[in-house]
């Protein structure tokens, strides 16, 4: 690749990404472009998502809401949608937090894509309030609450609200410097809105320090709340609704597979932004390679966590464990399990194991898309199995309920509400610039080209 200096530049025989040769003005212009004008594709997508959102709401009302809160089974696909959204758009911001903590440089053009999904968290929050009303009192049944006052409704709701509020605060704080740029440069039509959002941010040393700390603390808090919330969701909405299922590893499994899907969502979003979003200069092999490595690692962890649960039940062979194996692995939900296994473990492993594919762009995106599909089936398996049991006071399953087959409303609900959440993410792109102007330009300062023996390499500044 020809560098800006006119010499041939290679880093370990791989072309260097373009983003680090872009002038800061170009980054500002790209960041503000979508705010100034959305473009035809953007508008089309937004309309499509809005239609899907409306369809989802109609299906929600026509299906489960009209059926009432007396039975849990009609709500299965509301729970599936809730679980899927929590595991994808809920976990994507955690990727941004993790990469900030380890101070990766490749993260700079990616972070915003992960954070922006926090904007859609209002959808799972609404679904949560509809679902939490289905949970019975914890008295006389097995749960993690041991008869605590207000459990499970109050504590679950508090955690969920705290998570969503923290997600919005994290997104807003991380975007504030860019909103100040938009206030000053986006044009007269946008001044007022961004002036209010930027809250007088001028870029003083004190303000930057506050932003740095705010983003770090809110990010860590978000991850802690996310892990806590997923633990409680796994426990209250899945484990405690399956008699005899007290698998201690399950909350961790549920959280780990959510992290896997969060990375997958970010990969797919990055792929779409590169393909149709004009971000080809920002999202290059460097980003896809790094995300691909993470995707592979989390795919392996998916297998490890499931295997650990499986092997203990397999060796235990108590009637309780045999019933659980039949219900969740070999019985009515064998097909969803097999699909999830293939798409969440085998696919990322067989695609991303090869460095040549990982170094490309299409491979990681395809793996990410497959993981997302696998996650849908995993949620179907888990929530269908847990929402099919009637008597929760049993010590173990005395019979295996038949598989829940979704109806038309169920499918429309799932597709529609997921589309609505995507729409919220798209709307946010009109308010929050992509790429993150302050992070990418900050990265420019910390990168330089230096001669290294007979070639030229990129060096990264490590101020800390």
Partner 1 sequence: MQERHSHSNERIIRDLLRPVTQTSMMNWVGFIVLGALVTAFLFVIAWMFYWGIGVSGLSRPNMWGFMIVNFVFWIGISHAGVMISAILRLTQAEWRRPVTRAAEVMTMFSLVTAMIFPFIHTGRPWRTLYWVFPYDFWRGIWPDVRSALVMDPSAVFTYLTGTILFVYVTTIPDFALLRDRSTGWRHGLYRVLALGFKGEERQWKIQIISGFLLAAIMLSIFVSVHSIVSWDFAFSLDPVWHSTVWAPYFVIGAVHSGVSAVVTLMAIMRWMFKFDDYIRHEHFDAIGRLLVVVGTTWMWFFLLDIFFDLWRQDPADDAIMHIRFFEWPYPLLLAFVWIFGYFIPVPIWAFRRFRRNIKLMFWASIMVNIGMWAERYWLVIPGLQAKYQWTFDWTAYRPGPVEITLVVGSFAFVGFLLLLFAKLIPPVPVWDELEGKHLAAEIQVGKRTVPAIVREF
Contact positions vs partner 1 (CB under 8 A): 11-12, 14, 16, 101, 105, 142-144, 146, 224, 227, 231, 246-252, 286, 289, 304-305, 308-309, 311-313, 315-316, 318, 445-448, 450, 452, 457-464
CB 233 within 8 A of CB 84: no
Nearer to partner 1, 167 or 251 (CB): 251
Nearer to partner 1, 88 or 247 (CB): 247
For the CB of residue 257, give the shortest distance to partner 1 in the complex, in Å.
13
- Measured in degrees and rounded to the nearest 5, phi and psi for residue 198 equal -75, -15
For the CB of residue 358, give the shortest distance to partner 1 in the complex, in Å.
12
State how far the alpha carbon of 170 is from the alpha carbons of 84, 94, 106, 225, 356, in Å. 21, 11, 20, 12, 36
Nearer to partner 1, 77 or 313 (CB): 313
Question: Two tokens at 431?
Answer: 């308010």
For the CB of residue 452, give the shortest distance to partner 1 in the complex, in Å.
6
Nearer to partner 1, 391 or 464 (CB): 464
- Measured in degrees and rounded to the nearest 5, phi and psi for residue 192 equal -60, -50
Total number of residues shown for the chain: 464
Question: What is the rounded CA–CA span in Å between residue 79 and residue 292?
Answer: 29
- Crossing angle (nearest 10°) for helices 250-276 and 76-88: 70
Nearer to partner 1, 41 or 308 (CB): 308
For the CB of residue 447, give the shortest distance to partner 1 in the complex, in Å.
8
Secondary element (H or E) of residue 452: strand 447-452
For the CB of residue 443, give the shortest distance to partner 1 in the complex, in Å.
11
For the CB of residue 241, give the shortest distance to partner 1 in the complex, in Å.
14
Nearer to partner 1, 11 or 191 (CB): 11
Residues in CB range of 389: below 8 A, 6 or more apart:
241, 242, 243, 397, 401
For the CB of residue 310, give the shortest distance to partner 1 in the complex, in Å.
9
Nearer to partner 1, 199 or 395 (CB): 395
What sign does the dihedral 11-277-216-182 (CA atoms) show? positive
Nearer to partner 1, 74 or 443 (CB): 443
For the CB of residue 141, give the shortest distance to partner 1 in the complex, in Å.
10
Residues in CB range of 238: below 8 A, 6 or more apart:
245, 250, 254, 382, 383, 386
Question: Two tokens at 23?
Answer: 């002038």
Question: What is the rounded CA–CA span in Å between residue 285 and residue 153?
Answer: 46
| 3 state DSSP class of 10 | coil
Q: 74: how many CB neighbours lie within 10 A of its CB?
A: 21
DSSP 317-352: --HHHHHHHIIIIISTTHHHHHHHHIIIIIHHHHHH
DSSP state of 59: H
For the CB of residue 330, give the shortest distance to partner 1 in the complex, in Å.
17
Checking 138-141 for CB contacts under 8 A at 24+ apart, the result is 138/240, 140/393, 141/240, 141/392, 141/393
For the CB of residue 62, give the shortest distance to partner 1 in the complex, in Å.
37
Nearer to partner 1, 122 or 211 (CB): 211
- The single residue listed with the structure tokens 């740095």 is 212
Nearer to partner 1, 245 or 428 (CB): 245
Question: What is the rounded CA–CA span in Å between residue 52 and residue 413?
Answer: 9
Nearer to partner 1, 145 or 194 (CB): 145
For the CB of residue 287, give the shortest distance to partner 1 in the complex, in Å.
11
For the CB of residue 247, give the shortest distance to partner 1 in the complex, in Å.
5
The residue among 455, 461, 458 whose CA lies nearest residue 8 is: 455
Nearer to partner 1, 57 or 297 (CB): 297
């Amino acid at each position: 690749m020809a560098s800006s200096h006119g010499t041939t530049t290679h880093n370990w025989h791989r072309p260097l990404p373009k983003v680090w040769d872009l002038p800061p003005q170009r980054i500002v212009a790209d960041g503000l472009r979508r705010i100034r004008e959305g473009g035809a594709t953007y508008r089309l997508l937004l309309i499509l998502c809005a239609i899907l959102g409306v369809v989802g709401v109609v299906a929600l009302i026509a299906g489960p809401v009209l059926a009432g809160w007396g039975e849990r089974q009609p709500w299965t696909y509301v729970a599936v949608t809730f679980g899927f959204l929590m595991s994808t758009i809920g976990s994507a911001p955690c990727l941004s937090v993790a990469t900030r903590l380890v101070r990766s440089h490749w993260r700079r053009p990616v972070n915003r894509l992960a954070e922006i999904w926090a904007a859609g968290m209002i959808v799972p929050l609404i679904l949560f309030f509809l679902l939490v009303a289905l949970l019975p009192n914890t008295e006389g049944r097995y749960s993690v609450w041991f008869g605590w006052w207000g459990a499970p409704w109050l504590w679950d709701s508090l955690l969920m609200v705290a998570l969503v509020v923290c997600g919005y605060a994290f997104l807003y704080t991380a975007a504030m410097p860019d909103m100040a740029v938009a206030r000053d440069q986006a044009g007269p039509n946008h001044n007022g809105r961004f002036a209010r959002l930027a809250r007088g941010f001028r870029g003083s040393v004190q303000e930057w320090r506050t932003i740095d700390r705010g983003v770090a603390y809110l990010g860590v808090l978000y991850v802690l709340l996310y892990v806590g919330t997923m633990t409680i969701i796994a426990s209250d909405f899945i484990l405690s609704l399956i008699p005899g299922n007290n698998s201690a590893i399950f909350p961790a499994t549920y959280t780990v597979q959510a992290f896997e899907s969060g990375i997958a969502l970010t990969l797919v979003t990055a792929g779409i932004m590169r393909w149709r979003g004009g971000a080809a200069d920002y999202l290059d092999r460097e980003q896809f390679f790094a995300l691909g490595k993470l995707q592979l690692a989390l795919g392996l962890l998916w297998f490890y966590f499931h295997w650990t649960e499986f092997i203990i039940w397999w060796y235990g062979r108590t009637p309780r464990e045999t019933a659980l194996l039949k219900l969740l692995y070999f019985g009515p939900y064998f097909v969803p399990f097999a699909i999830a296994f293939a798409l969440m473990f085998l696919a990322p492993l067989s695609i991303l194991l090869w460095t040549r594919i990982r170094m490309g762009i299409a491979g990681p995106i395809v793996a990410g898309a497959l993981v997302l599909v696998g996650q849908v089936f995993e949620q179907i398996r888990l929530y269908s199995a847990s929402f099919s049991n009637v008597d929760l006071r049993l010590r173990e399953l005395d019979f295996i309920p038949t598989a829940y087959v979704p109806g038309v409303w169920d499918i429309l609900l799932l597709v529609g509400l997921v589309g609505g959440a995507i729409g919220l993410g798209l709307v946010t792109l009109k308010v929050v610039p992509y790429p993150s102007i302050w992070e990418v330009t900050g990265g420019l300062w910390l990168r330089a080209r230096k001669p290294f023996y007979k070639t030229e390499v990129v060096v990264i500044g490590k101020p800390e």
